[in-house]
Chains A and B, each alone.
Chain A
């Protein structure tokens, strides 16, 4: 069965800390991996990763994919209270005619002042 597993499920840190969120997957017909941030509304897109070893960066956030070991990490440096959210990892599965996302359970991050 296809699955995406995130760890840890929840995390509490203080402002300024660096966090690493993990996502492992076992999905047939892997196409790409996406990270989203979900506050009390729609998941907002962060990164899309398709190739191993190429780091994507956006400000204090960065992510990398390892297609050999089937995992991805999301790093957040110098965390701020505004980073508090649920971080979702999702794998795009399928042929070029489909593109459904298989989501992990999410990691709930709480950043304390």
Chain B
């Protein structure tokens, strides 16, 4: 399966714990995006990364949230000291980015199945 992979699919944490969400982009994709979907709300952009670089983090909360996309391995969204308001579905998407040979525009983002985070 060459689709976007996310794990875990469900994550339960108690207040104050750390949550680590992982995303492996689609094969051949080098651009990763994280979005958050709060209950009864739409998807909101959080951060856009390329390998080893954060390109746009304008949607990230200023504290407790961080993201990385190392040279090797998946992208990680890390939430420290979780609070109940962090409970949401976190989706990762990937795109081909610049230099792609695909006929589909590099703007097309393909989504993973999401991680549903529940903070008790």
A residues apposed to B, CB below 8 Å: 31-32, 34, 36, 41-45, 48, 50, 88, 90, 92, 94, 96-106
Distance of A100 Cα from B48 Cα, bound (Å): 7
For the complex, what is the distance from the CA of A36 to the CA of B114, rounded to whole Å?
15
A106 to chain B, nearest CB (A): 6
Query: Which residues of the other chain, A, contact B107 by a CB distance below 8 angstroms?
Result: 31-32, 34, 48, 50, 92, 99
Are A42 and B111 also in contact (CB < 8 A) when A101-B43, A101-B45 are?
A: yes
A69 → chain B closest CB, angstroms: 21
A and B contact pairs by CB, cutoff 8 A, 10 listed: A34-B108, A43-B43, A43-B91, A48-B108, A96-B98, A97-B55, A100-B33, A100-B45, A100-B48, A101-B35
Q: How far is the CA of A41 from the CA of B3 in the complex (A)?
A: 14
Dominant SS at the A interface? strand
**Is the Cβ of B43 less than 8 Å from the Cβ of A48?**
no
| The one of A34, A96, A106 that contacts B109, using a Cβ cutoff of 8 Å | A34
B39 interface contact, C-beta 8 A? no
| Residues of chain B contacted by A43 (CB below 8 angstroms) | 43, 91, 111
Residues of chain A contacted by B48 (CB below 8 angstroms):
98-100
Cα separation A65 to B56 with both chains bound (whole Å): 27
**Interface size range on B against A:** 20 to 34
Residue of B nearest to A42 (CB): B111
Per the 8 Å Cβ criterion, residues 91-108 of B in contact with A are: 91, 93, 95, 98, 104-108
Within 8 A of A (CB), among B50-106: 55-56, 58-59, 91, 93, 95, 98, 104-106
Residues of A within 8 A of B55 (CB): 97-98
* Contact yes or no, A103 B105, CB < 8 A: no
Measured between C-beta atoms, what is the minimum distance from B61 to chain A in Å? 16
Which residues of the partner chain A approach B56 to less than 8 Å between Cβ atoms? 94, 98, 100
Q: How far is the CA of A74 from the CA of B81 in the complex (A)?
A: 41
CB-nearest residue of chain B relative to A104? B42
B113 contacts which of A34, A41, A98, A105 (Cβ < 8 Å)?
A: A41
Give the residues in chain A near B110, CB-CB below 8 Å.
45
Q: B31 at interface (Cβ–Cβ under 8 A)?
A: yes
